[in-house]
Structure 1
Amino acid sequence: MKDLLGMMSKAKEMQAKFQALQEEIAAMEASGQSGGGLVSVTISGKFEMRSLKIDPSLFKEDDVEVLEDLILAAHNDAKTKVEAAMQEKTHELTAGLPIPSGFKLPF
Structure 2
Amino acid sequence: MRGGMNNMQGMMKQMQKMQKKMEEEQAKLKEEKIEGTAGGGMVTVVVSGHKEVLDVIVKEEVVDPDDIEMLQDLIVAATNEALNKADELSSERLGKHTKGLNIPGMM
- TM-score of Structure 1 vs Structure 2, range by shorter chain: 0.7 to 0.9
Structure label with greater radius of gyration: 2
What CA deviation, in whole Å up to 9, does each residue of 1:27-75 have, x standing for no partner? 2111000011110110011211111111111222102111011001100
Count of residues paired in the alignment: 103
The Cα of 1:99 is off from its aligned counterpart by: 4.1
- Give, in angstroms, the shift of residue 82 of structure 1: 0.5
* Superposition map of 1:4-83 within 5 A: 4-83=8-87
Identity of aligned residues (%): 34
Residues 43 and 78, structure 2, Cα contact 8 Å, conserved in 1: yes
Please list every run of at least 4 consecutive aligned residues from structure 1 whose deviation after the TM superposition is greater than 3 angstroms.
none
Q: Give the SS at the match of 2:45.
A: strand
Q: What SS does the aligned partner of 1:37 have?
A: coil
State the TM-score, normalized to the length of structure 2.
Answer: 0.86
**Does the 8 A contact of 2:49 with 2:89 survive in 1?**
no
- TM-score, normalisation: structure 1: 0.86
